[in-house]
Amino acid sequence: VLVLGLDYSGKSSLLFRANFGEVVTSIPTIGFNVETVSHKNIILQAWDVGGRDKIRPLLRHYYQNTEAVIFVVDSSDEERLPEAERELLSLVSESELEGVPVAVALNKWDLSRHMSRERMHQALGLAEVRKSRPCKSFSTSSVSDSKSDFFDMLEWINDNTRRTEENRRSNIVAGQSSVPVLQRVVFKLKTLLLT
């Protein structure tokens, strides 16, 4: 699962909270972190990719083998909402991510200045995204469990990833597509990041 979003949206903090159960202050991610998050019978390997401007052109190298995307948006940063919309719509237009489920994490929901869900849905163009794939938004917080639907989001991803995987298997049997080996992707990423 790819975890994407603009810088300072709280991607790493959200994963650290889910993994370790505590608030972790992090610095902006350069490159990527790989976190394994467990919940009930779900084990999710999340690739947390930095959201800074200079990293964004490299994102397409992470798309192969992606089973779902968590797109994290700072729900308190109205000024950057148009930029988040452009990134999300660009992401879902990528052919390698065709049909891949997208969970939108409306993050920092614990802050009193967060925007309404309706405002964010409209500004992010979620109605358009839903035309091409499963897409659902979830309120999340890296500091408050009572304000966070993070684990509901994992269950939704698990349910929708299974459906996507069943469709992929059908396509492979029909000779329409094949899924490359994960090791090749990791090698490509290491090569890109080390050069």
51 labelled binding-site residue: yes
- Secondary structure string (H, E, C) spanning 14-37: HHHHHHHCCCCCCCCCCCEEEEEE
6 labelled binding-site residue: yes
126 labelled binding-site residue: no
63 labelled binding-site residue: no
* Residue whose C-alpha is closest to residue 118's, from 133, 103, 134, 139: 139
12 labelled binding-site residue: yes
Grouping H, G, I as helix, E, B as strand and the rest as coil, residue 148 is coil
50 labelled binding-site residue: no
Beta bridge mates, 33:
48
Q: Are 43 and 57 in contact (CB under 8 A)?
A: no
109 labelled binding-site residue: yes
154 labelled binding-site residue: no
175 labelled binding-site residue: no
Count of all residues that appear for the chain in the document: 195
Q: Are 177 and 171 in contact (CB under 8 A)?
A: yes
* Residue whose C-alpha is closest to residue 2's, from 88, 79, 82: 88
Q: Are 100 and 164 in contact (CB under 8 A)?
A: yes
189 labelled binding-site residue: no
11 labelled binding-site residue: yes
108 labelled binding-site residue: yes
Q: With b meaning 16 or more CB within 10 Å and e meaning fewer, what string describes 10-20?
A: bbbbbbbbbee
**Binding site for Mg(2+): residue ranges?**
12, 29
**Binding site for GTP: residue ranges?**
5-12, 51, 107-110
**Binding site: residue ranges?**
5-12, 29, 51, 107-110
